[in-house]
Amino acid sequence: MIKLFRNPSPMPTQKSDDWEVADLDLKNVVKTYHDRRGNLIHAVNNFSLKIGKGEFTTLVGPSGCGKTTVLRVIAGFEIPDSGEVLMGGKSINSIPAFNRNMPMVFQSYALFPHLSIYDNIAYGLKIRKVPGNIIKNDVEMMLQLVNLVGMENRYPKEISGGQQQRVALARALVIKPKIILFDEPLSNLDVKLRLQTRMEIKRLQNLLGITTLYVTHDQEEALSMSDSIVVMKKGKIEQIGSPETIYHHPKSVFVADFIGNTNFVEGTIESLLDNHINIQVKDKILKIPKQQATGDINQGDTVLLGIKPEAISILKPGERNPNNFSGTVRHTYFRGTITEFEVEFNNTLINVILPKDVDFQQSFARNERICLSVNPRAINIFKKH
């Protein structure tokens, strides 16, 4: 095993022993402010969250849901109205931002325009009065780690957006942070670079095992990178869970809608059985396992069925499935490995995603009537309010 830092080897694969990470615990954090009209706004409302050592946690939610405020409270840029932030079990409420040792990677990267790449990365070490030779060694390691060797004498304006982003990352990592914070770091990159950098960040996080809090509004980013996802809505936690839980078992219409392009179809509870719920959708009865229902539902309730696009398949001629319904193809989008269809059913457009099937011709004419089947175990039932 080769260790990162204090080590002359070419490729670091593990962090050194003097690099400690910490866990993070937020207890009932409240942060309010006044908007321009003087109304009181709860940016973060009674927010509690535990992040274990080395865990990658992502805050997602629509803009204005308070995710960035949470990040800024943790970093110490905002003082919470009430509640506590604990790091390694100790309250850090009274520790000023510059003593928290939790660097943030900004959406704008916030590189210092008057310093070279080298000096940008060395900045935190110089502040900590680390001896010159160690700074040199550590910065060079970092340059290697983020693949920027040879760029150290350039200025931020002279390198591309992706490279700037990696400098920001290196600058944060070089001070051996106990926790690292990301504030929508990839939203200024183009799609291809975003995917690359996403993998890069995940690789480094896996490699170094640093406790990470990541803020994004991109669901794919959240799903692919995180150990756990926190979905936020209006300053509160809507749901916490692993990417799989959030994706397959959303607790609310809000979560289901935000994650995974869910289709919603209205239905009525026809009857509640021991293991199943029979739901009437139009003139069909769907039989759905009881654990797919969230909250308290009774016979006669109107419910929304959340159906993920990939849970729907197209019935081949001769195939039979009790949970089937027919619709009209309105649009087809060929996307290589998958094909996306918009099918009109019950006056709403439903998204259907099918993997490419080499044996089966998957093209349909516009306005062609087709028969769809749905996997009942992939339907979530939400009570309609």
CB of 96 to other proteins, least distance (A): 8
CB of 61 to other proteins, least distance (A): 21
Secondary structure class of 101 (helix, strand, coil): coil
Question: Is 34 a binder of other proteins (CB under 8 A)?
Answer: yes
Q: Does 124 bind other proteins (CB under 8 A)?
A: yes
Cα–Cα distance for residue pair 160/150, rounded to 1 Å? 14
Question: Binding mask 102-121 vs other proteins (x if CB under 8 A, - otherwise)?
Answer: xxx-xxx-xxxxxx------
Nearer to other proteins by C-beta: 75 or 314? 75
Query: Which range in 57-65, 98-106, 139-147, 184-192 contacts other proteins by CB under 8 A?
Result: 98-106
Q: Are 51 and 211 in contact (CB under 8 A)?
A: yes
The yes or no reply on residue 150 touching other proteins (CB under 8 A) is no
Kindly state the tokens that stand for 156. Answer: 């931020």
Residue 123 CA to residue 82 CA, distance in Å, equals 33
Q: In what order do the strands lie in the sheet with 276-281?
A: 284-289, 276-281, 263-272, 302-307, 379-383
Tokens of 192: 């291809």
Does 101 bind other proteins (CB under 8 A)? Our answer is yes
Which of 47, 123, 182, 341 is the binder for other proteins (CB under 8 A)?
Answer: 123
Q: At 365, list the tokens.
A: 């004419």
CB of 205 to other proteins, least distance (A): 18
* Contact stretch for other proteins (CB under 8 A) within 73-81, 208-216, 288-296, 312-320: 73-81
Distance between CA atoms of 1 and 124, rounded to whole angstroms? 27
Three-state SS for 291? Answer: helix
Binder to other proteins among 73, 75, 146, 256 (CB under 8 A)?
A: 75
Distance (Å, whole) CA 77 – CA 98: 9
267 binds other proteins (CB under 8 A): no
From 94-102, 221-229, 246-254, 262-270, span contacting other proteins (CB under 8 A): 94-102
CB of 40 or CB of 358, closer to other proteins: 40
β-strands 40-51, 211-216: how paired? unpaired
Q: With CA atoms as reference, report the closest residue to 236 among 379, 12, 65, 56.
A: 65
**Positive or negative: CA dihedral 355, 359, 363, 367:** negative
Residue 364 binds to other proteins (criterion: CB under 8 A): no
Binding residue for other proteins (CB under 8 A) from 17, 37, 274, 320?
37
- Residue 176 binds other proteins (CB under 8 A): no
Q: Where are the beta strands (DSSP E) in 188-283?
A: 211-216, 228-233, 236-241, 263-272, 276-281
Contact residues for other proteins, defined by CB under 8 A: 34, 36-38, 75-77, 96-104, 106-108, 110-115, 123-124, 127-128, 154-158, 171-172, 175, 181
